[in-house]
Amino acid sequence: MVVTTKEFASFLKKKGFVYQSSEIYGGLAGFYDYGHLGTKLKHNFEDVWRKFFLTLNDNFYEIETAQIMHENVFKASGHLENFVDPVVKCSQCDFTERADHLIEDATKKRCEGISPEQLTAIIAKHGLICPQCKAQFQPVTIINMMFPVHAGVGMSQKSFLRPETAQSPYVNFKLQYEILRKKLPLGLAIIGKAFRNEISPRNLTLRQREFTQAELQIFFNPHIINTHPDFDSVKNYTLRTLLVDDRKKGKVVGRTAAELIKHKLPQFYVYHLVKVQQFYLDELQIPPEKFRLYQLDDTEKAFYNKYHFDIEIDLTEYGFTEIGGLHYRTDHDLAGHQHVSKEKMEVLDEDSGKRFIPHVLEISVGVDRSVYALLDVAYTEDTLRGNVVLQLSSKLTPFFCAIFPLVKNKPELVRKAEELYDSIKNCYSCFYDQTSSVGRRYARADEVGVRYCITVDFDSLEDDSVTIRDRDTTKQERIKINDVKNTLFSLYFK
């Protein structure tokens, strides 16, 4: 049985994962709040992301920066001029939609990167009309998606809520490079909020106006683009790719990292492409068949991206959906900031004695989209149990374990269960529950992704043992209370 978006949204709200912001006032389109479980899941994802990507190199660091930035930042980046989306409006009613999305929904074909005139022509060719009142559409226009902010007394300083977190590491590069002893490659990572005035926010947290990004900006000498010191360790690793040349067949092709080099992709880029896939498949445990790396062609990618692959995950109702990307942005960003700010972004190549502007490789991940994908993939309606089972991995699930007394009306059972809970709650994410039958408690735990349930029963009073239940198999095993911590430790890393 395939769950609908409406049913999925109801489940996420009911369990405290995610729901529309300002709901008591009717909600606000494009803005969502995370409840107690959603916040834990999101933080767990961010922690796993940090641990994985920040350990790829000893010179990778996380920074935290302001969300409101100077107007000139976006003059230098090109956002003031180019950060636009095509919008189509009904000629009769108030219906408004992003033009390329309207066409893609109707034709199932991508149409990114083409002009408003071309989009207007495609709408006319396919006879697309307003879904609300059946009237014709007006010609496609464009709008800038940034949120302007006037800061200070008298609101004299024009600034903007950042539309991406990437600009923050770019404007911090010069200072951080000097502080960190002028070493390249230098990675500046950031997990933070970005803001875009989306034309038609939709699909829960997949398209919002306020969202969280996790990005790693790697500044490096462009002369090393065709090498990576650790490439031999990944050269035989198979990547799930859909190159531009594969589109006619529409099938993912498995290619080793070494084979991708033959497709004119540089080692430095391919190495990090491998790491992106390993993060989603190994760390997040996304099923391989639900993951692909989608290459963008010259009309789809940003003009400053020399190489661009989207990270895509196959979602229940939406098919393969962009979750993030790997972008080789060349020196576009630092060169732009050098031109506008008049601050030199050049560094010295000690081998050649020449100065150059570092290039940037960007690993960009949508945190909200990734969390949505984790929930979508994990959501299972188990017909045998008669309830939902959320099969999240041990590293990600909001609660790794739960402690139950078999019944709540026996003080000695409750006391022993509480003692066990107190002894492990500081070691593992854990919760205590004594309400309803133990079977119902198992079902509630399954629904929120608890990996292991530990039950203190009457035999526990005699033999100091408890029952530990596996969420995915429902199998139960008897273990000594003194062994619970070590058992959970081995299960966590299994």
Residue 1 has pLDDT above 60, yes or no: no
What CA–CA distance (Å, rounded) separates 145 from 98?
A: 12
The answer to whether residue 385 is domain-embedded is no
The answer to whether residue 388 is domain-embedded is no
For 89-111, what is the mean pLDDT? 89
What percentage of residues in the chain have a pLDDT greater than 90? 87
CA atoms within 13 A on the CB side of 289: 1
**pLDDT confidence band for 57 (50 / 70 / 90):** very high
Q: Which of 121, 52, 144 is nearest to 363 (CA)?
A: 52
DSSP secondary structure string for all residues of 411-429: HHHHHHHHHHHHHHTTTS-
Q: Which of 61, 207, 74 is nearest to 149 (CA)?
A: 74
For 416-423, what is the mean pLDDT? 97
The answer to whether residue 382 is domain-embedded is no
Residues of the domain holding 486: 399-492
The answer to whether residue 368 is domain-embedded is yes
- Whether residue 320 sits in one domain with residue 227: yes
- Whether residue 46 sits in one domain with residue 190: yes
What CA–CA distance (Å, rounded) separates 372 from 18?
A: 9
Tell me the CATH number at 451: 3.40.50.800
- Whether residue 60 sits in one domain with residue 198: yes
- Final residue belonging to a domain, choices 118, 144, 170: 144
* Sheet strands side by side (includes 147-151): 68-70, 157-161, 147-151
Q: Which of 453, 440, 323 is nearest to 375 (CA)?
A: 323
For 362-366, what is the mean pLDDT? 98
What CA–CA distance (Å, rounded) separates 55 from 66?
A: 25
- Whether residue 443 sits in one domain with residue 326: no
Residue 153 has pLDDT above 90, yes or no: no
Q: Supply 328's token pair.
A: 């080789």
To the nearest whole number, what is the mean pLDDT of the chain?
95
- Whether residue 139 sits in one domain with residue 100: yes
- Whether residue 207 sits in one domain with residue 338: yes
Residue 113 has pLDDT above 80, yes or no: no
- Final residue belonging to a domain, choices 105, 129, 144: 144
Residue 44 has pLDDT above 60, yes or no: yes
* Distance in Å from the first CA to the final CA of the chain: 30
What percentage of residues in the chain have a pLDDT greater than 70? 99
**φ, ψ of residue 141 in degrees (nearest 5):** -125, -175
Alpha helices (H) along 61-199 = 71-77, 79-82, 99-107, 116-125, 167-179
Q: What is the per-residue pLDDT for 258?
A: 98
CB distance 313 to 278 below 8 Å: no
Write the burial class of residue 453 (CB in 10 Å: 0-12 exposed, 13-18 middle, 19+ buried): buried
What CA–CA distance (Å, rounded) separates 215 from 295?
A: 19
Residue 310 has pLDDT above 80, yes or no: yes
Q: What is the per-residue pLDDT for 152?
A: 79
313-357: per-residue pLDDT in tens? 999 999 999 999 999 999 999 999 999 999 999 999 988 889 999
Give residue 272's Cα distance to chain centre.
Answer: 17
Tell me the CATH number at 331: 3.30.930.10
Q: What is the per-residue pLDDT for 154?
A: 67
- Whether residue 133 sits in one domain with residue 25: no
> Residue holding tokens 């739960």?
402
**pLDDT confidence band for 303 (50 / 70 / 90):** confident
**pLDDT confidence band for 155 (50 / 70 / 90):** low
Where are any strands of DSSP class E within 245-306? 253-256, 291-295
Which value, to the nearest 10 degrees, does the dihedral of the CA atoms of residues 221, 227, 228, 229 take? -110
275-294: per-residue pLDDT in tens? 999 999 999 999 999 999 99
Cβ neighbors of 401 (< 8 A, separation 6 or more) are 424, 428, 429, 430, 450, 451, 452, 453, 454, 488
227-249: per-residue pLDDT in tens? 999 999 999 999 999 999 999 99
- Looking only at the bridges linking them, the beta strands covering 32-34 and 465-470 are unpaired
What CA–CA distance (Å, rounded) separates 317 from 5?
A: 7
Residue 203 has pLDDT above 70, yes or no: yes
Q: What is the per-residue pLDDT for 156?
A: 66
Distances (CA, A) of 86 to 47, 116, 289, 402: 36, 6, 33, 49
- Whether residue 179 sits in one domain with residue 97: no
For 260-289, what is the mean pLDDT? 97
Q: Supply 415's token pair.
A: 């006391």
pTM of the model: 0.92
- Final residue belonging to a domain, choices 345, 377, 409: 377
Query: How many residues are recorded in the chain?
Result: 494
The answer to whether residue 383 is domain-embedded is no
Give the count of domains, the chain.
3
3-state helix vs strand vs coil in the chain, percent to 5? 35, 30, 35
Residue 60 has pLDDT above 60, yes or no: yes
Q: Supply 39's token pair.
A: 């916040």
- Whether residue 291 sits in one domain with residue 427: no
